[in-house]
Structure formats: C-alpha cells, structure tokens
Structure 1
Amino acid sequence: MESGAEILLKSVKEICPDITDDELFVFASKLTIEELNKKDFFVPINKVQKAIGFIANGLVRSSFIDNDGNEITVGFYAKGDYATHYPAFITQQPSKYSIQCLEPTTMVCISYENLQWIYENLSGFEKYGRLVAEEILKRQQARIESFIFQTAEERYLDFIKCHSDLFNRISVSHLCSFLGIERQSLTRIRQKLAHK
C-alpha cells in the first residue's frame, strides 16, 4: 500500500510532469505526516493554519459559525484534495473556518515556512503551487456562483454528479448546511426526483 507521501508525490507528478526527481526528493524531505481521528480538528476556528494538508486518506469538512451560532458547512475535502483556508494560510492570519475530520484521516503536511523555501529554491514547484491555487480559486468561485445562479435542486443534483463518492460518507445535516437548505426541503427535492 502506498504511503501518504507517495500519494502526494504521485499527485504532484500528474499535475506537473516537468518536476525533476531531485526536486521531488527535496520536497519529500520537507513533508510531515499527521494521523487524525474522526472529529479531530486539523484547523480549529480562529487559529493560524501553520501547515497546508494534503489528504492521503480520509474526509474532512470545513465550516464556520454564523451570527446566530449555527455551524455552516462550506466544503468537503477527500483523498487527493488540499485541506486549507487558503487566503488565511498564505497571509498567516487566523482562519474564520475550522477544518474537522469526518473520518480517520492521513494528512501529508507542509509548513508555511517550508512551502516558502520550496518556492524559492525549487523552480518547478512555483508552477505546481500556482496550479493548486488556481484549482482552489475555481472551486470557491463555483460555490459562490452556485448560490447566485442555481436553485437548491440544481445544487443538489450538481453535488450528486460531482461528489457521488461522498454521498454515503456525510450526514444529511452537513449536506443540508452545505447546500444552504432545510432538511424538509431536501426531503421534498429527493421525493420529486424519485418520481421523475
């Protein structure tokens, strides 16, 4: 079975085939592995995220607390994703979001300081960092636009299409929170789709 670091290195090579084996070797030397249990926090709310985490195995959820004290889910991240509140990470400011494990999770971590060192010393990783940042930005933009341009039903159908592998791994309450709908609304949507 592949180690967490091997899973990340393979992902790096897929995204940036030009990165040399020497660069990968140095990059690998800067990584640490964190084994987290279900319900553990990778990033607690209002804390500075010291390291970015690549999920080698497991599932995490990002959320925040609204003004009424409700916990709002903003994202689910599974194997192959980076777990981060990226703007807070790159500015090293406290995050308004928490990142919590929904399953036992293996996180391959790189500290903020090591990441800066890698960008300065391993030229191939600048492109990799840009591509990862662009992917994070695209996802965030898609989420914002889903609330502007889509109905709740369309958001639900999109979630099924794009995240079918997560469907049985998350709770209904977390899904409703992520979609921005009440549980009764989700029940109605499911009933309606079942009769189509």
Structure 2
Amino acid sequence: MKKNYESYLNSYLKNLSHSTPREIDAIRPDLTIKEYRKRDFFLKRGDVQKEMGFISVGLVRRYYINEKGNQITTGFAKENEYLTDYPAFIKQRPTKYFLQCIEPSVIIGVPYSIIQLSYEKFTNGQLYGRLMAEQTLTILNDRIEGFLFNTAEERYLKFVKEHPELMNRVSLTHLSSFLGIERQSLSRIRKRITKK
C-alpha cells in the first residue's frame, strides 16, 4: 500500500460534491488518514466512535457477537463508503459492533466535532448529513426486508447482483453469516445456481 496520503485525501474531498471550497477548507485540517492491517479494528464493541470513517482503500466487516459467542456479520464497507455505527455515532454512545478490516485499508477520519460544526455553520453540511442518514436507513431497511420477504437463495442472488466486486473479496463464512444462511447451505445454493 503506497503512502500517498494527499491522493487519498483528494479522493475523499471529491465525494463532497455538495460542499463549497470554503466548506472544504474548513474541515480539511482536521481530517486524519490512517493505515490498517488486515484484522485490525476500526471500532470495537464498547468504544465511542469519535470519527466517521471513509474508506479510501480496503474492505471492512461489521459484526456483533451473539449470546452463543458466534460472530454475526451485519455488513461490509468498501472503497468510497463510510464506516460507522451511525446511530451510536450520532448519539456518541458506545457501539455494540466490531468494525474489522478484512483487507489492508486506508481510512480517512472525519471528527464528530467537525461534522457537528459543519451542520451548524454550513447549509451543505446539513444536506450531507441528511444524505448520510438516508443512506444508512435505506441499507438497514433493505437488510430487514431481505429477511422478511426473500428466501436464502434470493438474498444471495441480490448480494451477487448488487456487490459483484465483493464476491472474490469476502469469505464464504462471512458471506453466509451476513445472509443468515449456514455455510453448507450457501455452498449448495451456489452449486445449484452454477448448474442452471
């Protein structure tokens, strides 16, 4: 991984298309850039998230540990996506999740205080916050409806269609956990589909 921090930073700032140069100049000095190795944690259960993460390079898995001690995957975040337990972040309360890198990653940190300041000072900051909240709500709702209305095979096919770039980057164990399917069942589904 090359330490080309300026290009990572510029890549992130391009995503702030709704922001003016003045707004970008106000937040830029407070952004942080950090490299993570595979298996490093961006966030652990019990932590209070002080920075919103933005993934420049890499892949992160979000999971919790259930009452039986099993890791249950609830999502993945890849390049050009935000990394957060958004409800806990906004309320600045301890998270119940683990956010762990499953690939070496470069993550830009946007401090909570700067996000709040941009909400107060800049109209576009409020717009960006609303868009982030809407995206988070949509992802959560889609996941819930997937379990309510789709079969295991339909959930798998939807994942393949929406995230083809992740198929060779996510292990079968993590994917089966995310889809709520036993690993053996997922293997059978994949075999059945390839025979069609």
TM-score, normalised to structure 2, is 0.94
Aligned partners of 1:34, 1:134: CA distance in 2, in Å?
27
| In the alignment, structure 1 residue 8 sits paired with structure 2 residue 12 | yes
Aligned partners of 1:33, 1:27: CA distance in 2, in Å?
13
RMSD between aligned alpha carbons?
1.2
Give the aligned partner of residue 49 of structure 1: 49
Give the aligned partner of residue 34 of structure 1: 34
Aligned partners of 2:147, 2:7: CA distance in 1, in Å?
38
Aligned partners of 2:79, 2:62: CA distance in 1, in Å?
15
Task: Give the conservation status (yes or no) of the 8 Å contact 2:115–2:125.
Answer: no
Give the aligned partner of residue 100 of structure 1: 100
What is the one-letter code of the residue matched to 1:53?
A: G
Give the aligned partner of residue 71 of structure 1: 71
Give % identity.
48
1:24 deviation in Å? 1.4
Aligned residues between the structures:
192
Aligned partners of 1:76, 1:145: CA distance in 2, in Å?
18
Unaligned runs of 5+ in 2: none
Task: Give the conservation status (yes or no) of the 8 Å contact 2:60–2:99.
Answer: yes
Give the aligned partner of residue 122 of structure 1: 122
1:125 deviation in Å? 1.2
Give the aligned partner of residue 186 of structure 1: 186
Aligned to 1:3, the other structure's residue is in SS state helix
Unaligned runs of 5+ in 1: none
Aligned to 1:64, the other structure's residue is in SS state strand
1:29 deviation in Å? 2.0
1:113-167 Cα distance to aligned partner (Å, 9 max, x none) = 1211121122211101111111111011101110000000000001101111011
| In the alignment, structure 1 residue 62 sits paired with structure 2 residue 62 | yes
